[in-house]
Chains A and B, each alone.
Chain A
Amino acid sequence: MSVKETELPHFKQPLLRTPFHNRARELSQHDSFVAWAGYTTVDVFTTPEQEYFAVRNATGVFDLTPMVKYRIKGPAAGRYLNHLVTRDVAKLKVNRVMYTVWCNDNGHILDDGTLFRLGEDEYWLCSAERQIDWLLDAAIGYDVTVEEVTEQVAALAVQGPTSCWILKQLGLAGIEQLKPFDIGRFAVEGVEVMASRTGFTGDLGYEIWMPPDKAEFIWDRLMEAGRLRGIRAIGSQALNAVRIEAGFLMPHYDFVSAESTVRLGRDRSPLELGLDWLVDFKKGHFNGRRALVAEQARGVARRLVGLDVAGNKPAHSALLYTEESGRQEIGFVTSALWSPTCKRNIALAIVNAPHFALGSKVWAEIYLNRELVWERRMVQAEVVEKPFFAPERRRVTPPADR
C-alpha cells in the first residue's frame, strides 16, 4: 500500500506523510513522531545518542522531504533571486549551491535556506518556512515563475565520515569528485537521482534528491549499501545536536521569521545573527540593503554568538547576565548542548552589545531538575568562535572512505 492510499482527509489527519513514512515507521522503536513543516517526521528512532554518533562516526540518514522547496524558473530568475537574497547570485554557477538568507525591506530575516542552480535559468530555493506569498510579491516586475515543489521531490540527507563510500556502493559513480556545494546527477539501477554535497551537520555529507515514487526503492538500496559501514536512520533530535556543533541556525529556535513576529524587536537581521558574510553590499540593490547599510554603520544592538559554558549541564533557555549576582540581564540562550564530540558544554545565544565580543565573559542562569527538586546554578560562559566542530573531512575532495 502506498503512503497516499493510507492517508485520511486533512481534517482527520492534518500532517502529511513523506514517501519514506512506511520505512521510518518500521524502524521507529518509540513511535516518536513530531510535526515539521506540515509533515509527520521521526524525532527519535532508537536513542538520540546512537543516532548522533552515527553522523559523527559512520553515516546517519535523515529524511528531509518536508524541507520547503521552490522551483524558480525564467529568463529573469537570476536577477530576481539577486534582488531577493543577500548574497550575490550572479556568482552562483550552474550545478552549485549557496547558503543564503533573505530579508524584508527593514533588513529583517524572513528565512534562511539553500539556493540550488540547476540550469542557466532554473533554481531551487529550499527553506524552512512556506512563503509563496512573499516570493510572488517579490517577483513583481520579473519574468519568472515561482512554484512550490515540496511534494514533487523526496530527499534524504546522508551524512557522516562513511557517507561517500556508502554512496559509491549505492552506485553513484564519481560522487567522490563532488566538491562542497557541488551538484551531480547519478543513476541507481536506472533510477535518476540528484546529489548535492550539502548538509546540516557540518560534516562530510550529501543530500540525495529523487522522485517520490522511487523513494522506498532508493531507501532500501541505500540501507543495504551502508549495512557494513554503520548506516542508521536518524531523527530530528540527533540532527539538532549535530547542527548546534556545526553552529547552524534553526528557525523557531535561534530566530523567528519576520513574517510571523507580533512583538516589536523580535525580528532579526543577518548582521545580528552573525551572518555578515552572507550580505554582499557590493552587488547592488537587494531587499533590505538600505536598512542593513544603516545597521552596519551604527553597529548591531545584539548578536548571536557561540558560548562555551562551564560545567556539563546544557544551558537550555538560560538568561544571561554580566555578573554572577544576576543584576544586569544581557541576553539569552537559544540552543544548548553538551557536545559529545567536542567534550564541551556549548550554546548559541543572543547577547546584547557590547558583551558579544569574542572572549567576553557572561553568566548563565541554569535550572536543574534533580529528582523533582529544582536547583538554580549561575555558571560562567565565554563568547567563543563558531563552529564548535569543523572537521577537515567536510572539505576534502575526494573524501576518505571512512
Chain B
Amino acid sequence: MSGANGATKSYDVIVVGAGHNGLVAACYMQRAGLNVLVLERNDYIGGAAVSRSLYPEFTYSNCSYVCSLLRPEIMRQLELPKHGLQIIPYEGGCTMMQDGNHLALYDNHDALRREISRHSKRDAEAYDRYSRDVMRQCKFIKPLLLREPPDPTSFKWRDINELLYIGKRFHNMGEERMYDTVRFWTMSAADFLDEYFESEIVKAHFAGSSIIGTALGPRSPGTAYVLLHHYMGDIDDTVGAWGFARGGMGAVSNALGSSFKASGGTIREAASVSKFLVRNERVVGVALDSGEELYASTVMSNMDVKRTFLETMDAGDLPSEFLDQVRKFKIRGSSGKLNIALDGLPEWTAIPKGSPCTRGDMHITDTLDMMERAYDDWKAGRWSQRPYVDMLIPSQIDPTMAPPGKHYMSVFVQYCPYELADGPWTPEKRKAFGDTVIDAIARQSPNFKSLILHAEIRTPWDIEREVGLTEGNIFQGELTMDQLLFNRPIPGYAQYRAPVRGLYMCGSSTHPGGGVMGAPGHNAAQAVLRDLKKVA
C-alpha cells in the first residue's frame, strides 16, 4: 500500500480486478509465497459475483445468481467453507406453459420420469439416454478445466505432453463418444435436442442453458456446447446440479477475499487502474486514476481482453495483429437482469400446489420458436418482447436474503442488446425493458406485480458500467468453438500470458471460460508460478 509520503511498498504481483477469478489467482499466488496486491475499481469486491443490499433488509445476488461450476478443488484448496462459503443444491425447476400446463424437473428420477411422461412417454425414457450422453462428454471435459490448454502448433515438451494427455482421454472415450464430441462442439442446441426429444416443452426447457449469456439463438450452431458448459459443474459430486450460495453469490467472493487476506494478501478497493505500465516490452506496474503508480514485475488482469488491451494499454506496446484479433473477439451483450424484492411468494397459475419445482429455476418460454423469436428481437436491436427468463427465488431456501415471509427474486433476462436500434439507453428505456419482463412474468402469476417492493433493473449497458464487463457479456466472450481451448481468447495466447512480458490474463476471457468456475484464475496463477519457478 502506498504510504502518505509516496513511498511504495513493493509487491511481487498486482492483480487488477477483484472478480472471483482475480481473487482465486491471488489466493494461489499468495499461498505459493508471492506478495500479492489486488486492486478493485468498485468499493466492494466480487466483480460479477456480489451480494448487495439495495432495499432495506434484502440482499440481492446482483449479477451471477446461482452456483455449480465453481471447481470443488478450488473450494477445498483455498478453504472456502472455512471462510464462510456454503452451497445448497436446489430442488428442481420448471417451465410454465402458455396454455396453463407446465413441465417440472424433480430430483427424484421416478417423479421426473412420470412428469416428463405427461408430455411425452417417449421423451421420459429418452431423457436417460440424453443424460448419459451429456455425462459422457462432461467426463471428458471436466479434467481439462483446471489445465492450461496446449498449443497444437507448439513443439514444446509441455504442449506435446498435454496434447497427448487430451488425445489419450479422447481416445479412451471409445468411438461413438468421439464422434459425439465433435458433433456436440459444433451443433445447435435445437438440432441436438431434436435428436433425443419430440416434445416442444421438453426441448424448450433444456434449451435454456444453451443460450444463457450467449448472443446466439437455440438454432445457432455452437449452442449445444453452451448447454454442455452449464452441465459441467457439480455439487457434492452430483454432476450438473446447481445451487445457491448461502448469502448470495457475494459469498463466493467474500470467502475468497477472506481466504486471501488470511494468507497475508492485500486488497485495495476503490482503486481504479487507468493504465498498465510497460517499459522495454515488459510490464512494470499500473497507474491508477488518481495518478498514483504501483510497481510489480508481474501484473495480472482479471478484466476481459477488450478492456485489458484496448482500454488499459497503449496500442504502441502491443503487436498490431494481436490487437486486431482482440478487437474482433466476440463479447456481445445479450442479457439483462432484474433483482426484485417481493412482499410475499408469488402464486403461479400453471404450477400445482405443493410442487417443489418453484424452489429451483423457473422459465416461461415453452417452445424453441418462442426462444428463437426472442433472439430475433435482439438481432434487430431491441429487447425481446417475449423474453426468456431464468428466474429463481433463493429466499425460499436461503434465510439470509430476505425477512421472514418476504422474498428475493432473481430474474436473468435474455435477450437484451447493449446498443439499441433507436439510440442509446435512457432511464425511460430501462424502465420499459423492466416492464416488459415484469409483464411477461405476471402473465403466469396474477399476484406478482402487487408483491413488488423494489426492483433493480440492469441492462447490458448498466452491467458494463458497474461491473466492467465489456457489453455486459457474462462470460467475457462467447463460448463458441472458435473462441474455446487454444483459441481462447486469441490464438497463440491461450496460455494466460499476454504479448507483453510479465503481463497475464485470468478472466473468463481465457480457458475454460465463464460461469463462476474459478478455473481461469487457478490456471493463470499456475502459469505465473511456473514462470517464476515457484512450482515444478
- Docked Cα-Cα span, A131 to B128, in Å, equals 10
Q: Which of A14, A136, A261, A264 contacts B122 (CB 8 A)?
A: A136
Q: Is there an interface contact between B126 and A133, defined as CB atoms closer than 8 Å?
A: yes
Which of A5-13, A208-216, A299-307, A355-363 is near enough to bind chain B?
A: A5-13
Give min CB distance, B375 to chain A, whole Å: 29
Cβ proximity bits A242-255 to B, threshold 8 Å, 1 near / 0 not: 00000000000000
Q: Is there an interface contact between B132 and A15, defined as CB atoms closer than 8 Å?
A: no
- Docked Cα-Cα span, A35 to B115, in Å, equals 17
Given A38-B113, A259-B132, A264-B177, A11:B354 Cβ within 8 A: yes
Given A133-B125, A264-B172, A38:B110 Cβ within 8 A: yes
Interface membership of B135, Cβ < 8 A: yes
B106 to chain A: which residues have CB within 8 Å? Answer: 11, 14
Give min CB distance, A264 to chain B, whole Å: 4
Interface membership of A132, Cβ < 8 A: yes
Q: Is there an interface contact between A259 and B114, defined as CB atoms closer than 8 Å?
A: no
Q: Is there an interface contact between A262 and B115, defined as CB atoms closer than 8 Å?
A: no
Interface membership of B238, Cβ < 8 A: no
A71 to chain B: which residues have CB within 8 Å? Answer: none
Give min CB distance, B143 to chain A, whole Å: 14
Interface membership of A130, Cβ < 8 A: yes
- Docked Cα-Cα span, A109 to B125, in Å, equals 17
Chain A contact surface mostly: loop
Within 8 A of A (CB), among B97-141: 104, 106, 108-111, 113-115, 121-126, 128-129, 132, 135-136, 139
B104 to chain A: which residues have CB within 8 Å? Answer: 11
Cβ proximity bits A1-43 to B, threshold 8 Å, 1 near / 0 not: 0000000011110111000000000000000000100100000
Q: Which of B113, B115, B126, B132 contacts A261 (CB 8 A)?
A: B132
Cβ proximity bits B258-278 to A, threshold 8 Å, 1 near / 0 not: 000000000000000000000
Give min CB distance, A268 to chain B, whole Å: 14
A15 (CB) vs chain B CBs: closest residue = B110
A35 (CB) vs chain B CBs: closest residue = B110
Q: Which of B115, B172, B177 contacts A10 (CB 8 A)?
A: B115
Q: Is there an interface contact between A10 and B111, defined as CB atoms closer than 8 Å?
A: yes
Within 8 A of B (CB), among A261-295: 261-264
- Docked Cα-Cα span, A263 to B109, in Å, equals 20
Q: Which of B113, B115, B172 contacts A130 (CB 8 A)?
A: B113
Chain B contact surface mostly: helix
Given A11-B106, A35-B110, A148-B121, A259:B128 Cβ within 8 A: yes
Interface size classification for chain B:
20 to 34
Give min CB distance, B19 to chain A, whole Å: 33
A10 to chain B: which residues have CB within 8 Å? Answer: 110-111, 114-115
Give min CB distance, B110 to chain A, whole Å: 4
B355 (CB) vs chain A CBs: closest residue = A11
Q: Is there an interface contact between B354 and A260, defined as CB atoms closer than 8 Å?
A: no
A35 to chain B: which residues have CB within 8 Å? Answer: 110
Cβ proximity bits B347-362 to A, threshold 8 Å, 1 near / 0 not: 0000010111100000
Q: Is there an interface contact between B113 and A133, defined as CB atoms closer than 8 Å?
A: no
A260 to chain B: which residues have CB within 8 Å? Answer: 128, 132
- Docked Cα-Cα span, A10 to B356, in Å, equals 11
Q: Is there an interface contact between A133 and B356, defined as CB atoms closer than 8 Å?
A: no
A261 (CB) vs chain B CBs: closest residue = B132
Interface membership of B56, Cβ < 8 A: no
- Docked Cα-Cα span, A9 to B108, in Å, equals 13
- Docked Cα-Cα span, A14 to B111, in Å, equals 4
Interface membership of B452, Cβ < 8 A: no
A16 to chain B: which residues have CB within 8 Å? Answer: 114
B135 to chain A: which residues have CB within 8 Å? Answer: 262
- Docked Cα-Cα span, A38 to B114, in Å, equals 9
Q: Is there an interface contact between A133 and B114, defined as CB atoms closer than 8 Å?
A: no
Q: Is there an interface contact between B136 and A131, defined as CB atoms closer than 8 Å?
A: no
Give min CB distance, A61 to chain B, whole Å: 25
Interface membership of B423, Cβ < 8 A: no
Q: Is there an interface contact between B173 and A12, defined as CB atoms closer than 8 Å?
A: no
B126 to chain A: which residues have CB within 8 Å? Answer: 133
Of residues B104, B123, B174, which shows the largest number of chain A Cβ atoms within 10 Å of its Cβ?
B174
Give min CB distance, A376 to chain B, whole Å: 27
A131 (CB) vs chain B CBs: closest residue = B125
- Docked Cα-Cα span, A232 to B271, in Å, equals 79
Q: Is there an interface contact between B113 and A9, defined as CB atoms closer than 8 Å?
A: no
B173 (CB) vs chain A CBs: closest residue = A264
Give min CB distance, A71 to chain B, whole Å: 14
Q: Is there an interface contact between B354 and A9, defined as CB atoms closer than 8 Å?
A: yes
Q: Is there an interface contact between B128 and A11, defined as CB atoms closer than 8 Å?
A: no
Q: Is there an interface contact between B114 and A14, defined as CB atoms closer than 8 Å?
A: yes
A264 to chain B: which residues have CB within 8 Å? Answer: 172-174, 177
Q: Is there an interface contact between B352 and A262, defined as CB atoms closer than 8 Å?
A: no
- Docked Cα-Cα span, A16 to B110, in Å, equals 9
Q: Is there an interface contact between B110 and A14, defined as CB atoms closer than 8 Å?
A: yes
Give min CB distance, B276 to chain A, whole Å: 45
A259 to chain B: which residues have CB within 8 Å? Answer: 128-129, 132
B177 to chain A: which residues have CB within 8 Å? Answer: 264
Cβ proximity bits A126-145 to B, threshold 8 Å, 1 near / 0 not: 00001111001000000000
B124 (CB) vs chain A CBs: closest residue = A130
Q: Is there an interface contact between A11 and B115, defined as CB atoms closer than 8 Å?
A: yes
- Docked Cα-Cα span, A263 to B172, in Å, equals 9
- Docked Cα-Cα span, A115 to B465, in Å, equals 67
B136 (CB) vs chain A CBs: closest residue = A262
30 CB-based A-B contacts, threshold 8 Å: A9-B354, A9-B355, A10-B111, A10-B114, A11-B104, A11-B106, A11-B111, A11-B115, A11-B354, A11-B355, A14-B106, A14-B108, A14-B109, A14-B111, A14-B114, A38-B110, A38-B113, A38-B114, A130-B113, A130-B124, A132-B125, A133-B123, A133-B125, A133-B126, A259-B129, A263-B139, A264-B172, A264-B173, A264-B174, A264-B177
* Contact surface of B with A, Cβ cutoff 8 Å: 104, 106, 108-111, 113-115, 121-126, 128-129, 132, 135-136, 139, 172-174, 176-177, 352, 354-357
The 10 closest A-B pairs by CB, nearest first: A14-B111, A14-B110, A10-B114, A133-B126, A264-B174, A14-B108, A133-B125, A262-B135, A130-B125, A11-B355
5 extra interface residue pairs, beta carbon distance < 8 Å, beyond A9-B355, A262-B135, A262-B139: A9-B352, A14-B110, A132-B122, A259-B128, A262-B136
